[in-house]
Structure 1
C-alpha cells in the first residue's frame, strides 16, 4: 500500500512539473515574440508611396538590399505616402515606412493631420535624401510665379500626403491660402496626366528629382517649374526650420535654367515594437550598401547625412549603429 501511494505521489509530482514547464515555455515564447524574435520579424511591410513618385521604386531597391544583406525581408508596398504611412505604422499595420521629416515631426507633436492625436510608437531609423518641392506646370499655363496660381486648378497632393501641407505652407508664405486656388487632391500620376490633358494648370509634387511621373510628362510636353524667390525661401526656412533651400538644376526635365525651390528630407520610420537587433541590422545594411541601391537616389543616401533633419527619437537599434559609427555619443 505504501509503495502504491508513493507511486501515485510521484506521478502527481511529475504531472505538476510538466504543467509548470509548459507554462514557463509559453511565457518565455511570449517574451521572445515581444522583444522581436527573428522568425516573427522576418517578413515586414514597408510602406512607400504612389507608383509615379520616387518612394515606390526606391523602396523596392532598399528592400532588396536589406533582404540580400540580412535575414529580414521587407516587402515594399505602394501607399498614399507620408501622413498615411505614419498613421498605418501607428496602428501596427506595417513595420517600416518612408516619411517626410516634416510630417514625422507633425505626427509626434500631434498637429496638422494628427491634430490632437500625437503618435508615440513610431521612431526614426535614419534620413535619406532631400525631397524637393516642385511646382510643375507648362509654359502654356501662364503660371510663372506662386502668385500666378490664384484662381487656377492646382493639384496639392493626395489626401493624407505631406505634399498637401507643403503646398499650404508655401501658399501661406506668399500671403495665400487653399481658398485662393482651385485645389485638386491628386497623386503624382494623376497630376501629370491632368497637366498633359489640360484639366489642371499646375501641381505641387514633393519628391526627389528627377521624379518619374514628371519625367514622363516632359517626354510629351515642355515642362516648367515655378520658382520660389530667394526672400520667400529664407522666410519659409525661418518659419519652418525643417525646410532647406534647394536648386533644381538645368537639364532636369529639359529645363533651360536652374530653378530655386525648397526641400524637406525623406526618412525611414519604424514601429517601436521592432527588436533592437532587427533595426540595427537593417540600418547597417542600408548605410553600408548604398552603392547596391538600384535607383538614382541611392547616390544621395550617405552615412554622413543619415541624421539630417531628424527631429524625433531614434530606434535603439539605429542608435546603436550610429554610435558605433561615431555619429552620436
Structure 2
C-alpha cells in the first residue's frame, strides 16, 4: 500500500462507516501513484471545535470518491500542531487558520528554524475569536480578565496564538496578570466554568461551536461573549493584515442576548508543496462536488464559496494545481 503520510497517529479515533468524525493509524511513508492504494491523514483539531466534524466528513467523501483512497482524520490541538505534523510529513493534509499557516511558511514563532512547505488548496470559512464567560463572573470587557482564571486554548492550537496576541493588545501580560492561565480544550474549558474552576476562556472557531453551545444551554448559566474589536488595528500593525472585524449575531448561542463584535481570521485547507498535481485536483473535485452536503455537517461550510478563493485570504502560496482548479471554475484569485 502506498501512503502520503507518516508513521505515527496523533489522537487516534476509529472512523466507522457513515461516521463524520474519526481517525485511524497512519501508514508508512511513500509516494503516491495514480492507481495505487492511498492513505491520507487529515489533521483537524479538538473534538469540541469545527475542524473535527468537517474533517471527518471530508475523509468520508474522499474515501468513497477517489479509487483506492483511505482517508482518516487526526484529533489534534489545532492549527499549530497540524502544521508541525505536516512539516514532519506525518499527515498529508491540514485544516488551519491563516495566521498559523503564515507563521509556518515563514518559520516564525512556534516554527522558528523549521519552516513548513504548506500550500493552500482552498479557503474555507471564517474563524471567530470568541472570548467566553458567564454573567456570574462579572466580566464584561477584556480588562476585567485581570486577576481571573482563564484558558487560552489547547497547546498547539491557533486559538492560543491568537489569544495571546489579543491579551497583549489589551495591555495584559500573559504570565503576570491572571490568577491562573490554563491551556484547555474548549470542551474542558466549558466543564471548568461549569465546575467553578475557570472564569473565562478563548476559543477560535466557526460558530456555533458545540462547546460554547453546551455552556449556553446549561441550567442557571447566562452566557456572555466579550467584545474585543477595538484591539484589531494594533494587532494588525504588529502581525500583519490576516485579521479583520466581524460580528457574531445575537442568538447564535443559547442565552446570547447581544451581538459579539470580535476578531476573525480565515481558514484554509493546506497540503505540502510536493503533493502531486493529480491528487490535489482529485481532492478539490471531491470537496467542491460535496459542498452542499458538507454544509449540512456544519453551517460553517456554507462559506466555502468560489468568491472566497482569494490569494490574500489564503495567506500562503497556492499549490499550483489549486490555482489551476480554481481558475478553471472561474475564480479570479486576485
5 Å-filtered alignment, 1:105-144, equals 105-119=102-116, 121-144=117-140
1:65 touches 1:292 (CA, 8 Å); kept in 2?
no
1:172 maps to 2:168? yes
What's the Cα RMSD here? 1.7
The 5 Å alignment of 1:6-155 reads 34=31, 36-40=32-36, 42-71=38-67, 72-119=69-116, 121-155=117-151
Q: Output the CA distance in 1 between the equivalents of 2:196 and 2:142.
A: 19
If the length of structure 1 is used for normalisation, what is the TM-score? 0.84
| Aligned residues of 2:50 and 2:298 also touching (Cα < 8 A) | no
Structure 2: distance between partners of 1:219 and 1:237: 34
Question: What is the aligned partner in structure 1 of residue 303 from structure 2?
Answer: 300
* Structure 1 residue runs without a partner (length 5+): 1-32
Q: Give yes or no for the alignment of 1:251 onto 2:251.
A: yes
Closer/same/farther in 2, CA of residues 150 and 64 from structure 1, 3 Å limit: same
Which structure's CA Rg is the greater one? Answer: 1
Gaps of 5+ in 2: 1-29
**What CA distance in whole angstroms lies between the structure 2 residues aligned with 1:323 and 1:73?**
28
Name the SS of the counterpart of 1:268 in structure 2: strand
Measure how far apart 1:259 and its partner are: 1.1
Give 4+ residue runs of structure 1 displaced > 4 Å after superposition: none
> What displacement does 1:232 show?
2.2
Q: How many residues align?
A: 294
Compared with structure 1, are the counterparts of its residues 306 and 69 closer, same or farther at alpha carbon in structure 2 (3 Å cutoff)? Answer: farther
2:324 maps to 1:320: yes
How far 1:177 moved relative to its partner? 2.1
Answer whether contact 2:44 2:75 (CA < 8 A) is retained: yes
The structure carrying a bigger helix percent of its residues is 1
In the alignment, the residues of structure 1 paired with residue 50 and residue 66 of structure 2 have an alpha-carbon distance, to the nearest angstrom, of: 24
Partner of 2:214: 216
TM-score when scaled to structure 2? 0.83
TM superposition shift of 1:39: 4.2
8 Å contact from structure 1 (residues 159, 185) kept in 2: yes
Q: What is the rounded CA distance, in whole Å, between the counterparts of 2:301 and 2:327 in structure 1?
A: 23
